Every structure is written in structure tokens, then in C-alpha cells.
Amino acid sequence: MHFTDAIDGYARHLEVERGYSAQTVRAYRSDLTALAAFAAARAAAARGTETVAKTSAAVASVGTEAVTLELLRDWLWDGAQRELAKATLARRSAAARGFSAWLTRRSGAPVDPAARLRAPRPDKTLPRVITRAQMDDLLGGLAARADEGEPAALRDLTVIELLYATGIRVSELTGLDVDDVDLDRLTVRVLGKGAKERVVPFGVPASITVRRYLADARPRLAAERSGPALLLGARGGRLGPRAVYELVAGLLAEIPGAGPAGPHALRHTAATHLLDGGADLRAVQEILGHASLGTTQIYTHVSTERLRESYRIAHPRA
């Protein structure tokens, strides 16, 4: 099988059979396309024709029989030499292992060449968390802008209120339809990773903002193409993840603190504030939609670090 055909087939498998998000499928496709180019370059070098190694024709000519443990290790080593982040190398390793396992099942081969493939573990860094005072200031500023009557300003306030109140992912937020929000029960129904549905609670402040948005802003943003989407962009279509990222990044750029400034920072913040307030770890796991409790436990480390910092600042013998 040609490499490019196999990548197309594996991408369909991930999307249809495994229920992976479009973003994850794109990332894996990109990784495997890079692997195909690397395999083509190796083959071209062996023939002494390196100059054509990266053309589309050269890549398309490579067959999946080129996928060996040696090739995969060399590919990851090449990435490490080019100083790719450990998280990127770990994702590449996961993409290669999954792809190789899929090929092995389809071909009926007795041995999966990637079964012994390993990659560096991602660096474990504590996520960025916004303080409660900073969140109050951020929401207060957005509320003041929303009071001026611009529908986009009220929509932006709704975006931040929901991200912070629920801790949902940006893809889950932008995928919401109007009927997914229950303003009587103060819950929102989201479709998470692996097409798993869950119901997440939110508070009264968020419900007040959502009611205002539905009554005053959404009708003014709506267009023929809006459909059932809850959050709408300037042209009336469903608000996309990139627009949310740009909104959050712009807001967090004005707040002191190190670390990523995307929507995930609000997810981290929501989880940490829940634990700081006494929420049970398993309840937070359910709210966030984590498959493993271990994923949620990083927020206990965040809370511990905040406790230590408070101790160091406040205790006379710290």
C-alpha cells in the first residue's frame, strides 16, 4: 500500500471508528505525512537522488513496507536533533505506534514493528492558573464592555463565563448548540473526546450572562447560516476555536503570569479553584471529562504549590 493512501485510510479510521476529534486527526495526519517524507528522503539517499526526495511524487512512491522500527527510531532521533519539543516527539511516537498497529492488523503481519518504539515523555510543567482576583477583574472588564450594548462584547463575556464556570475544552464550547444549555437546571451538555457526552454544571453568574446573550446578542448576530449554534461569529456562523483562542490570548496577555495564554488556562483555573474550594477530586474529574484520575491529579499539585507560596509569604518562619 502506498504511504499516502495508508495515511488517508488511517485518518478515516481515527475519525469514524475511534471518534477522534478533527484537531487530533489533523495532527496525526501531519505527523505521518512528515514520516512519509522522511522515508522518501531515506529511499532517495539510498539511490543517490536526494534532491527529489521531498517532492510529492517521491513521497507518494513510498510504500508502507518502509515502516520499520529502525526507520521510526531514526525519525524520532532526527526530530530530537532538530530540537523538537518533547511533547511533539511524544505525539509523533503515539501517531507512529497507532499507525503501525493499524497497518499490522490490516496486513495480518505477525509482528508490529512499532511495538517496542519509545519516545521521551513530555516535560511535566504546572499549568498556568489565574488568581480569583484576576478572574474577577477580567470578568468585570468584559461586563463593562458588554453593558455598552455591542452584541460581540456580550458574546465574548459569555465565552469567558462559560469556559471558567464549566472548565470545558474550547472544542466543546464551540460545539455547543442552544438546546445543549439548560438554564433551569444550570447544566450544559457537551460532547467530549471520543464522542463521550457528559453534563456539566455552571453557576448563577454564568446563567445570567447566557440569558442576556440569548435575548439580546445572539438574535443580532444570527444569520441564515447560524443553525442551532450557541456562539456565533461576526458573520453569523458558528464561532470557531481559533477565534476563542485569540480572544482569550488577548485578554490573558494583559494579566501578569508565566505560561500559555490560551483557553486551556481557564480550564486549569476552573479545576484549581474547584479544588481550592474543597471539591472532591473525582467530582472534578467528572466535570473535566478526564478518562483517568491521574490526569486530574496535576491540579492537586497546583493547589499544593499555591499553598506553599502562601505559607512562604505569610509565615514569619517560612
Catalytic residue, chosen from 13, 189, 193, 198, is 193
**Cα torsion angle, 44, 49, 53, 56, sign:** negative
Residue 133 contacts residue 119 (beta carbons within 8 Å)? no
Task: Judge whether 299 counts as a catalytic residue.
Answer: yes
> How would you classify the pairing of strands 197-201 and 181-182?
unpaired
Which long-range CB contacts under 8 A does 11-15 form with residues at least 24 apart?
13/102, 14/98
Catalytic residue, chosen from 128, 238, 267, 273, is 267
Helix (H, G, I), strand (E, B) or coil at 253: coil
With CA atoms as reference, report the closest residue to 25 among 95, 105, 120: 95
Task: Judge whether 54 counts as a catalytic residue.
Answer: no
Task: Judge whether 193 counts as a catalytic residue.
Answer: yes
Q: Please report, for residues 53, 84, 203, the alpha-carbon distance to residue 40 in angstroms, rounded to integers and kept in the order given.
A: 6, 20, 55
Task: Judge whether 169 counts as a catalytic residue.
Answer: yes
Q: Who's near 86: CB < 8 A, 6+ residues apart? A: 120, 121, 122, 123
Task: Judge whether 2 counts as a catalytic residue.
Answer: no
With CA atoms as reference, report the closest residue to 259 among 121, 94, 131, 74: 131
Catalytic residue, chosen from 91, 169, 218, 273, is 169
Helix (H, G, I), strand (E, B) or coil at 203: coil
> How would you classify the pairing of strands 181-182 and 187-191?
antiparallel
Q: Which three cell numbers stand for residue 200?
A: 456539566
Catalytic residue, chosen from 198, 212, 264, 306, is 264
Which active-site residues does the annotation give? 169, 193, 264, 267, 290, 299
